[in-house]
Amino acid sequence: MNKMFEEAVIELNERMLRAHFPLSYHRGFIQISNDATVAAIVEKPFWALVSAPLWENVAIDMARAVDLRDNNKRDASLYASKALESTLKIISDKKGWTTGHEVGPVNYVNNLVSKNNGRFIEVWEQESLHKLFSDARSPFGHGPGTAPMPSMTPQQASWAIEVSMSWIKSLINRL
């Protein structure tokens, strides 16, 4: 029954793509998909990779990010980065690199770049991930106090989602 459902979803998405209808179905959500190239190279492989039970929390947070973006709501980048953080935690745990002293995504990124752990990622990748978390997540993961409420344009939210999906794909494919 699950196999038949998966085949029906594949067919539905293919029909929408061929009809130039800018939607796709993933994990119970019908989502906007305006860029056929991104859909083929980033989104479709991403959803296939995170369909395994191990990656369920990653898929849930990313589906939420896409839903927030598609409905022009805040925090799309926060949920995309939460999906990326979950990926980092899963990989660190699977590889036995988690120490229990990690307090945020930066510590998990550091686990992956550690020489002692065989450099799962390179230093330049570490720097890129640190910047992504500091600029596209931190403003949305903390209260602004008296500062203006942080926001992103729809294009920036799409970028944050697509970059997070790409990073997740890259990290999972290295396992």
User: Is the Cβ–Cβ distance between 136 and 160 less than 8 Å?
Assistant: yes
pLDDT > 90 fraction of the chain, expressed in percent and rounded: 69
Positions of E strands within 12-163: 23-26, 29-32
pLDDT average, residue stretch 8-27: 82
* pLDDT number for residue 52: 94
pLDDT average, residue stretch 53-68: 96
Domain of residue 116: give its range.
2-173
Q: pTM here?
A: 0.86
Helix axes of 105-113 and 123-132: crossing angle, nearest 10 degrees: 170
**Mean pLDDT, all residues of the chain:** 92
How many domains are there within the chain? 1
